[in-house]
Amino acid sequence: MASSCAAPRGQRGRVSPPPTPVEFGLAAEALEDSSAGPNYGLPSDTPPQRLRVPPAVPDTVPAWVYAPANLASDTGASYDYYADVIIVGFKATATQADRQAAIDSINGTVVGGQPMPPGEGFYFVRLEAARRLEPLTRAVTKLWSLPQVASASLVTPLEEQFRRPR
Protein backbone atom coordinates (compact mmCIF):
# COMPACT_ATOMS: atom_id res chain seq x y z
CA MET A 1 0.00 0.00 0.00
CA ALA A 2 1.36 3.37 -1.00
CA SER A 3 1.72 6.10 1.56
CA SER A 4 -0.81 8.91 1.60
CA CYS A 5 1.85 11.34 0.38
CA ALA A 6 2.52 9.47 -2.85
CA ALA A 7 0.73 10.29 -6.09
CA PRO A 8 -1.77 7.68 -7.32
CA ARG A 9 -0.26 5.03 -9.59
CA GLY A 10 0.24 6.26 -13.11
CA GLN A 11 0.08 9.94 -12.18
CA ARG A 12 2.90 12.29 -11.47
CA GLY A 13 2.93 14.05 -8.16
CA ARG A 14 3.33 17.80 -7.97
CA VAL A 15 6.98 18.68 -7.70
CA SER A 16 8.10 22.15 -6.66
CA PRO A 17 10.93 23.54 -8.75
CA PRO A 18 14.17 24.26 -6.94
CA PRO A 19 14.57 27.85 -5.77
CA THR A 20 16.05 30.29 -8.22
CA PRO A 21 19.43 31.83 -7.35
CA VAL A 22 17.64 35.07 -6.41
CA GLU A 23 15.18 33.25 -4.12
CA PHE A 24 18.02 31.26 -2.59
CA GLY A 25 20.03 34.46 -1.97
CA LEU A 26 17.05 36.18 -0.33
CA ALA A 27 16.53 33.20 1.95
CA ALA A 28 20.20 33.17 2.92
CA GLU A 29 20.12 36.92 3.68
CA ALA A 30 17.01 36.46 5.81
CA LEU A 31 18.76 33.77 7.83
CA GLU A 32 21.86 35.93 8.29
CA ASP A 33 19.78 38.94 9.38
CA SER A 34 17.65 36.91 11.79
CA SER A 35 20.29 37.26 14.52
CA ALA A 36 19.51 40.97 14.69
CA GLY A 37 15.86 40.23 15.36
CA PRO A 38 12.77 40.94 13.31
CA ASN A 39 12.41 44.40 11.83
CA TYR A 40 8.67 44.21 11.12
CA GLY A 41 9.03 46.03 7.83
CA LEU A 42 10.96 48.99 9.25
CA PRO A 43 13.67 50.49 7.05
CA SER A 44 17.10 49.23 8.04
CA ASP A 45 18.21 52.72 9.14
CA THR A 46 15.38 53.01 11.69
CA PRO A 47 16.83 52.81 15.22
CA PRO A 48 15.39 50.07 17.43
CA GLN A 49 12.53 51.20 19.63
CA ARG A 50 13.19 51.39 23.36
CA LEU A 51 10.79 49.82 25.76
CA ARG A 52 8.21 52.30 27.01
CA VAL A 53 8.58 53.67 30.51
CA PRO A 54 5.51 52.49 32.40
CA PRO A 55 3.39 55.25 33.96
CA ALA A 56 3.32 53.32 37.25
CA VAL A 57 6.43 51.99 38.96
CA PRO A 58 6.98 48.26 38.28
CA ASP A 59 6.82 46.04 41.35
CA THR A 60 9.78 43.75 40.68
CA VAL A 61 13.55 44.09 40.57
CA PRO A 62 15.52 41.62 38.42
CA ALA A 63 17.73 39.27 40.42
CA TRP A 64 20.86 40.33 38.50
CA VAL A 65 20.66 43.86 39.97
CA TYR A 66 21.60 42.73 43.50
CA ALA A 67 23.63 39.67 42.48
CA PRO A 68 27.09 39.57 44.10
CA ALA A 69 28.62 39.29 40.62
CA ASN A 70 27.07 42.66 39.73
CA LEU A 71 28.84 44.46 42.57
CA ALA A 72 31.52 46.78 41.19
CA SER A 73 34.11 49.22 42.44
CA ASP A 74 35.95 52.07 40.81
CA THR A 75 39.00 54.10 41.72
CA GLY A 76 36.77 57.20 41.59
CA ALA A 77 34.67 56.04 44.55
CA SER A 78 35.29 54.99 48.13
CA TYR A 79 32.30 52.65 48.01
CA ASP A 80 31.02 49.74 45.97
CA TYR A 81 28.01 50.06 43.68
CA TYR A 82 25.91 47.78 41.53
CA ALA A 83 27.05 47.95 37.92
CA ASP A 84 25.10 49.36 35.01
CA VAL A 85 21.98 50.34 36.98
CA ILE A 86 20.66 53.46 38.72
CA ILE A 87 17.40 54.29 40.51
CA VAL A 88 15.15 57.20 39.58
CA GLY A 89 12.18 58.71 41.38
CA PHE A 90 9.79 61.08 39.63
CA LYS A 91 7.65 63.88 41.01
CA ALA A 92 3.99 62.91 41.35
CA THR A 93 3.13 65.49 38.68
CA ALA A 94 5.39 63.82 36.06
CA THR A 95 3.40 62.36 33.18
CA GLN A 96 4.34 59.18 31.35
CA ALA A 97 5.77 61.36 28.56
CA ASP A 98 7.88 63.27 31.12
CA ARG A 99 9.19 60.00 32.53
CA GLN A 100 9.91 58.65 29.05
CA ALA A 101 11.80 61.83 28.09
CA ALA A 102 13.96 61.61 31.21
CA ILE A 103 14.89 57.97 30.67
CA ASP A 104 15.50 58.56 26.95
CA SER A 105 17.80 61.51 27.78
CA ILE A 106 20.25 59.08 29.40
CA ASN A 107 19.67 56.22 26.93
CA GLY A 108 18.34 54.08 29.76
CA THR A 109 15.94 51.15 29.88
CA VAL A 110 13.55 50.56 32.77
CA VAL A 111 14.20 47.05 34.08
CA GLY A 112 12.16 47.09 37.28
CA GLY A 113 10.96 49.13 40.17
CA GLN A 114 10.15 49.46 43.84
CA PRO A 115 6.73 51.03 44.49
CA MET A 116 6.32 53.20 47.56
CA PRO A 117 3.09 54.53 49.03
CA PRO A 118 1.20 56.61 47.99
CA GLY A 119 1.55 55.42 44.39
CA GLU A 120 5.06 56.51 43.45
CA GLY A 121 8.40 54.80 43.98
CA PHE A 122 11.69 54.14 42.26
CA TYR A 123 12.40 52.93 38.75
CA PHE A 124 15.48 50.74 38.24
CA VAL A 125 17.13 51.87 35.01
CA ARG A 126 19.80 49.93 33.14
CA LEU A 127 22.57 51.81 31.34
CA GLU A 128 25.28 50.56 29.00
CA ALA A 129 28.08 51.65 31.33
CA ALA A 130 30.49 48.72 30.98
CA ARG A 131 30.62 48.45 34.80
CA ARG A 132 32.21 51.92 35.00
CA LEU A 133 31.21 54.55 37.56
CA GLU A 134 31.53 57.67 35.39
CA PRO A 135 28.63 56.94 32.97
CA LEU A 136 26.38 56.22 35.96
CA THR A 137 27.25 59.44 37.79
CA ARG A 138 26.88 61.43 34.56
CA ALA A 139 23.37 60.00 34.09
CA VAL A 140 22.43 60.74 37.72
CA THR A 141 23.68 64.33 37.36
CA LYS A 142 21.69 64.81 34.15
CA LEU A 143 18.52 63.41 35.74
CA TRP A 144 18.85 65.72 38.76
CA SER A 145 18.78 68.68 36.34
CA LEU A 146 15.35 67.71 34.97
CA PRO A 147 12.24 69.28 36.55
CA GLN A 148 10.23 66.03 36.50
CA VAL A 149 12.85 64.08 38.50
CA ALA A 150 12.56 63.96 42.30
CA SER A 151 15.60 61.75 42.90
CA ALA A 152 18.31 59.81 41.11
CA SER A 153 21.04 57.69 42.61
CA LEU A 154 23.50 54.88 42.17
CA VAL A 155 22.41 51.54 43.56
CA THR A 156 24.70 50.63 46.46
CA PRO A 157 24.63 47.83 49.00
CA LEU A 158 22.55 48.99 51.96
CA GLU A 159 25.19 48.09 54.50
CA GLU A 160 27.72 50.27 52.64
CA GLN A 161 25.59 53.33 53.37
CA PHE A 162 25.92 52.83 57.13
CA ARG A 163 29.62 51.98 57.39
CA ARG A 164 32.22 54.42 58.52
CA PRO A 165 34.45 55.80 55.76
CA ARG A 166 37.39 53.58 54.83
The pLDDT profile of the chain, 166 residues, written as one tens digit per residue, is 444 445 556 555 455 455 555 444 444 444 444 444 444 444 445 445 556 898 889 999 999 999 999 999 887 778 899 999 999 999 999 999 999 999 999 999 999 999 987 778 999 999 999 999 999 999 999 999 999 999 999 999 874 455 455 5
DSSP state of 39: -
Distances (CA, A) of 18 to 6, 21, 26, 32, 53: 19, 9, 14, 21, 48
Residue 152 lies in a domain: yes
Q: What is the pTM of this model?
A: 0.65
Q: Which domain holds residue 116?
A: 68-161
Kindly report the CATH number assigned to the domain that includes residue 136. 3.30.70.80
Residue 98 lies in a domain: yes
Q: How many domains does the chain have?
A: 1
Residue 10 lies in a domain: no
